[in-house]
Structure 1
Amino acid sequence: MNVQRAITAPQPTTGLSPVEEMRLACLMQTIEQNRFLPAPAVENVFVGDGDYRAIGVEFLGHLVRTGGLRRHDRVLDIGCGIGRLAVPLTQYLDSATARYEGVDPVGEGIAWCARNIGSVYPNFRFCQLDVAHALYNPNGSLRGDEVVLPFSDDSFDFAAMISVATHLPANEIAAYAREAMRLLAPGGRLFVTAFLVTPGDAGRAEARPRFVRGAEAGSWYGDVSAPLAAIGFDPGIVENALEEAGLRIERVDLGHWRAVPSTHYQDIIVAVKPGARA
């Protein structure tokens, strides 16, 4: 794979018509202003800084515009956290034809989601995955590089890994890529966010995080005292993990964490399982 070409080539659009774009923008605004939708207490949000509802709505836009998410898709949210993406998806996905499955190692987040989202939206389900993680689930019983998700083959049309690859070593990213390949139906799409540390990024004074070389080959740490708090990789490592699993890279869009103009913070990779999309 020519990684540099994949990053810099003109990016394809998802084909939203002006009317579809207007409808999406109106829906996003409505969701952000709807204070009747569930939201956890601020002190319980463990999925990152910023406004819980606004960031969830922003990612809904990225999934539709960049990832090609459709209203009737069967969605797998790997690392669903405390429902930041699930909440806006309750308003976007078709309640009669779509379904959503969220998995995460943090039991408190899964419990909150099941209580506040799954109890109201029956096509939304949540499951704790007891995978070990130094920060989020240190006593987990499952190794991250041997993860097997509790779903049958070809059972999803769309999978998301938002702020997941930014907290995993490369071998665990590869394990999730293999599971995504197994679980996606032909033509299914995987939306991943990551930190792809391209030449010059680590030296930018304005970059956040400020990465330094990590102990793992090709890795970068935002905090050497807690490597998995924010981990980045040389270009090609995450992409190659997806391709080795059998997925095809469709687009790579760089984020503004490196202090360059972009519509999103982390870098985005969209990969597709070969075959015709149903």
Structure 2
Amino acid sequence: MNAPLTPTLSLFSHLPPGERFHVHARAFSAPLEAVAARVPPGGRVAEVGCGHGLLSGLLALGDSRRHVHGVDPDPRKITWARKGPGTLPNVVFEVGGVESLAATQAGGFDTVVVCDVLYLLPLERWPGFLRDASRLLRPGGRLLVKEAEGDGSWKHRKCLAQEWVMVKWLGRTKAGGALVLQPRHAMEALLRDAGFHLRETVELGAGYSTPHILYVAEARAP
């Protein structure tokens, strides 16, 4: 595994075995380095739905000029995040979500990253979520949304089965009542409806058993 993911994983070395396994599984199953590569240098970055903070740590170690603010609704994961990447000087974590962060820090971020979060929410909540993400950004700020694409493939079906186990059986991930994968045209339309300019849609599923896809969008000036 290439740096900087390896030093990022070392931040979790003192966590209990079950938590370390979860973080390492995440590292190997998602294209986090490809996502991080599209985050502009420096600035304030919010990661919404940060979990254990693996991507937040990757972003913070990748550029010491960045200030990363991670939020997640699961207090248990935030506790582990604070004991891992939260020990870095340019990272802070808090329990919360996009709504709570937008209520206190509207316009406070240059970049917002959302990685495998929307699929856990009922579809009717996606537009409001994206509007709140827009509120977090300064004009011209960047939104990165990484999801699994609802393309009807075997990867699509495998992803839903895997997440059903993680959410419903093992309870490792909190869901808001749904496991939803959207086709790219639907997701692109949602981003435009939320006021974003879509810069690019990037397929990241090569080499993975999940149809990873990344949407890179820009907040329009009010």
TM-score (norm 1): 0.63
Aligned CA distance change for structure 1 residues 114 and 274 (closer, same or farther; 3 Å): same
Partner in structure 1 of residue 120 of structure 2: 167
Structure with the higher helix share, 1 or 2: 2
Partner in structure 2 of residue 85 of structure 1: 55
1:127 maps to which of 78, 94, 97: 94
| 1:168–1:231 contact (8 Å) kept in structure 2 | yes
Superposed CA deviations along residues 6-53 of structure 1, whole A, max 9, x for unmatched, are: xxxxxxxxxxxxxxxxxxx9xx4254167743344342369x686344
1:182 maps to which of 119, 127, 135: 135
Superposed CA deviations along residues 200-226 of structure 1, whole A, max 9, x for unmatched, are: x2xx4x4343489xxxxxxxx975x95
| 2:67–2:90 contact (8 Å) kept in structure 1 | yes
| 2:8–2:61 contact (8 Å) kept in structure 1 | no
Deviation, 1:231, is 1.8
| 1:74–1:98 contact (8 Å) kept in structure 2 | yes
Report the structure number with the largest CA radius of gyration. Answer: 1
Q: Distance in 2 between matches of 1:52 and 1:265?
A: 15
Partner in structure 2 of residue 116 of structure 1: 84
Higher relative contact order, structure no. (Cα contacts within 8 Å, ≥ 6 residues apart)? 2
TM-score (norm 2): 0.76
Partner in structure 1 of residue 73 of structure 2: 105
Aligned CA distance change for structure 1 residues 61 and 237 (closer, same or farther; 3 Å): closer
C-alpha RMSD of matched pairs (Å): 3.5
Partner in structure 2 of residue 253 of structure 1: 202
Deviation, 1:272, is 0.8
Partner in structure 1 of residue 110 of structure 2: 157
Superposed CA deviations along residues 203-257 of structure 1, whole A, max 9, x for unmatched, are: x4x4343489xxxxxxxx975x95957421244332222212211111122343x
Aligned CA distance change for structure 1 residues 229 and 84 (closer, same or farther; 3 Å): farther
Partner in structure 1 of residue 157 of structure 2: 209
Partner in structure 2 of residue 44 of structure 1: 19
| 1:165–1:193 contact (8 Å) kept in structure 2 | no
Superposed CA deviations along residues 41-70 of structure 1, whole A, max 9, x for unmatched, are: 342369x686344567x4133331xx3x13
| 2:35–2:146 contact (8 Å) kept in structure 1 | no
Q: Distance in 2 between matches of 1:173 and 1:73?
A: 26
Count the aligned residue pairs. 210
Aligned CA distance change for structure 1 residues 250 and 79 (closer, same or farther; 3 Å): same
Aligned CA distance change for structure 1 residues 222 and 35 (closer, same or farther; 3 Å): closer
Q: Is the deviation greater in 33-42 or in 181-190? A: 33-42
Partner in structure 2 of residue 217 of structure 1: none
1:268 maps to which of 214, 218, 222: 214
Q: Distance in 1 between matches of 2:186 and 2:94?
A: 29
Deviation, 1:98, is 2.3
Q: Distance in 2 between matches of 1:250 and 1:106?
A: 31
* Residue type at the aligned position of 1:127: E
Superposed CA deviations along residues 138-177 of structure 1, whole A, max 9, x for unmatched, are: xxxxxx9xx3424322211111110101212222222221
- Contiguous gaps of at least 5 residues in structure 1: 1-24, 132-143, 213-220
